Amino acid sequence: MQEILDLLQNDARLTADEIAAMTRKPVAEVKEIIANLEKEGVILKYSAIVNAQKIQSEHELVRAVIEIQVTPEREHGFDALADRIYRFPQVKSLYLMSGGYDLQVIIEGKTLHEVAFFVSEKLATLNGVKSTKTHFVLKTYKENDVVYVDQKKDRREGVTA
């Protein structure tokens, strides 16, 4: 099962036939394993990773990472507040963290103003939120195990005598 998950995480376009050949399992068994993983919620979604820097778009997105300090709710801990936060369509990822802050949110908006409005009017005003710290993503080098920068360029420094 783990071998099949690893293959799908690396390339979700692989067919059951291809996975069967790679794992030396019967195709029917591979299909059954994948169907069970989907049914059990182990596999949640198949998606394409898009390098937005390579496409021309009049609607480039602004991405921000927000650190949030919160007061956990009695009997619900962090979960109730996390539930309210991840329901916003701007929220792409939400993590409970250890360290200097409690939650990390990754959001996307159409403009800096839209992101700032979301943080100041939606996130910061939620009951239980003590503070927020926003970091704007300037460039993506690697995400989801995919390197975004062109590695074919010669990056050696010149030597002068």
The 10s digit of each residue's pLDDT in 1-15 is 899 998 998 889 999
Exposure of 27 in the CB half-sphere (CA atoms within 13 A)? 5
Q: What is the pTM of this model?
A: 0.75
- 55-83 per-position pLDDT tens digit: 766 667 899 999 999 998 888 889 999 99
Domain boundaries, the chain: 2-39, 57-140
Does the 57-140 domain belong in CATH 1.10.579.10? no
